[in-house]
Amino acid sequence: MGDSIVIRSAEPADAERISELMGSSGVFEQLLQMPDVPVASRIETLRVTDAQICRLVALDGDRVVAHAGLHKTQNSIRRQHVRGLGIAIASSHQGQGLGRALMERLLRWADGWGAVLRIELTVNADNERAIALYSRLGFMHEGRHLAYALRNGQYVDAIAMARMHPCPPMLPAW
């Protein structure tokens, strides 16, 4: 990953540049994004502050070249220990270690600060690079969803993956 890359929290002012990234070719196809999502909906999402989620961007100069985050999957009190993970790197910056750097930063947040026990995600079954990255960072395959999503007129399978906290915090001995 180049020295010029800055990783920081995502802000509402980043909405337009994040939308541009998420809709770009080489990224969009592997996400559950719809084409032409209005920027307004992303501004709304980014305006909501929630200490239980983590949203990051990576900047190369003024350009947002990556977006990654951990979000709550449901409001159920019984799933407060769970976060979903999403990540997208601009095609110009893929394969240079940025995905790994962002994932490691999210995992540090989850393990050290966020009281997260389980992180879950789904990934298109043909997304070899993403599956390799997740596997190296301790995510396990949990199963295969058949015809999980429509992609450019075809149904594609997805792999469910999850990672448990490697060393969950314990109460100290009093």
Contact residues for ligand COA (CB under 6 A)?
27, 30-31, 87-89, 94-100, 121, 123, 127-130, 132-133, 136
Query: Nearest-CB residue to ligand COA?
Result: 99
Distance, in Å, from the CA atom of 156 to the CA atom of 148, rounded to the nearest integer, reads 6
The three-class DSSP label of residue 108 is helix
Smallest distance, ligand COA to C-beta of residue 111, A: 18
Q: Return all residues near 84 (Cβ < 8 A) that are at least 6 apart.
A: 70, 71, 72, 73, 119, 120, 121
Nearest-approach distance from CB 152 to ligand COA, in angstroms: 15
- Element spanning 121, H or E: strand 118-124
Longest Cα pair distance anywhere in the chain, in angstroms?
Answer: 60
In the bound state with ligand COA, the residue whose beta carbon lies nearer, of 7 and 115, is: 7
Q: Closer CB to ligand COA, residue 18 or residue 27?
A: 27
CB 108 to ligand COA: min, Å: 16
